[in-house]
Amino acid sequence: MADEESLISTALADLDTAAEILNLDPSCHAVLRHPQRTLTVSVPVRMDDETIRVFTGHRVHHSYVRGPSKGGIRYHPSVTLDETTALAMIMTWKCAVVDIPLGGAKGGIVCNPKSMSLGELERMTRRYIFMIMPLIGPEQDIPAPDIYTDAQTMAWIMDTYSMFKGYSVPGVVTGKPVNIGGTLGRKAATGRGCMFVVLEALKHLGMRRKGSTVAIQGYGNVGSNVACFLQEKGLKLIAASDSRGGVMNLKGLDARKLVSHKEKTGTVVGYKASKEISNEELLELDCDVLIPAAIENVITRRNAANIKARILAEAANGPVTAQANRILDESGIFVLPDILANTGGVTVSYFEWVQDIASHFWTEEDVNIKLENVIMKAFKEVVENSKKHELNMRLGALVLAVDRVAAAFITRGLFP
């Protein structure tokens, strides 16, 4: 039985709540509670020392009623089937919130990529793709990068899939290098999308941009990009952290210089003119905007009551547990849920897929303008839906997404 604080429990509890609000048909509700496909595979890999290690990999399709499924592949020791299933479900809601014609998927391998060589990672990737090949393709499931996978990983996936097809298939993955069919603007897309919703939230709440304070837990690609974008808009970064610890300066940190420091040292810790703090302390700082941008379940029933931010923007997937959600709501914190706040990445992935299929590529300016239009429309629709049902933003976004997916399922009907 899943732990009450687990990501799958949170995801299922969220769906159940949305179904109750919508008075969803019980049969449709039951279908949405289960992934449409699940595959677990053994991934034997020849290591550099000539031994063979067998890793476990997963790929889950939660829904493809609105279009091909879409979702990242992560390499991490904590990957589980439950986690992968929950993340696939969350991806379904993300795609529906921004109203792009895709469903949700997720994949992962249980491994420690930090202890593996580049050659081992390549061989593991290619074997894993061979094992899940019946499930992926531009018409049915399009993977993307996630934790500890990147553009190079996607290049190996594209090449492996293309070798079996006998011709290049750039549309099989997104997040690829630009020279093999990737899109401009993809790397910063999740951070840029989060920036758009934070700025809209400030406006919605009547808060000033200039001088509003920001704390970011997880200063990786997403966290650092959103920090830099918000700094350009006049907000002040006062704290940031990564897996090794955090730094704080209430007078402000320079987001771009902090990126340079991390690139040189591998961590934000040790940045000049700053005080060291823990990840736990960062989450409880008094700030205007708190952005958890690392992993899931960092805000739980144990620390939710200590959150002091006015706005909490979930740049990570599932950083807040179900019980913590209720505590944050009672505290009056304006939560921008992950299915809205971090949809910039999947939106630009969708753009990349469209460009690959058309073999016609856009400028970075075009990508960013289209992204802003999609995110702004989604924010407005979530606000309107929240008011319509008298809900907070989290439930407003979720109800909007579940309603769209359920409507597609009902319209299509059940085969046979």
Instruction: Exactly one of 70, 94, 106, 187 is catalytic; name it.
Output: 106
Residue 248 Cα distances to 194, 254, 258, 308, 413, angstroms: 21, 11, 11, 16, 54
Q: What share of the chain is helix, strand, coil (3-state, %, to 5)?
A: 50, 20, 35
Cα distance between residue 102 and residue 68, in whole Å: 5
Cβ distance 191 to 376 under 8 Å? no
Distance of CA 225 to the CA centre of its chain: 14
The residue type at 110: V
* Cα angle value 359/362/368 (rounded, 5°): 140
Please report the sign of the dihedral spanned by the C-alpha atoms of residue 221, residue 280, residue 93, residue 67.
Answer: positive
DSSP codes, 319-372:
-B-HHHHHHHHHTT-EEE-HHHHTTHHHHHHHHHHHHHHHT----HHHHHHHHH
The residue type at 406: A
Dihedral angle, C-alpha 319, 150, 98, 235, nearest 10 °? 60
Cβ distance 371 to 345 under 8 Å? no
Cβ distance 151 to 176 under 8 Å? yes
Residue 106 annotated among the catalytic residues of the structure: yes
Cβ distance 393 to 386 under 8 Å? yes
Cβ distance 246 to 217 under 8 Å? yes
Cβ distance 379 to 74 under 8 Å? no
For helices 189-204 and 344-358, give the axis angle rounded to 10 degrees: 130
Cα distance between residue 309 and residue 287, in whole Å: 5
Cα distance between residue 354 and residue 138, in whole Å: 10
Cα distance between residue 306 and residue 304, in whole Å: 5
Residues carrying an active site annotation: 106
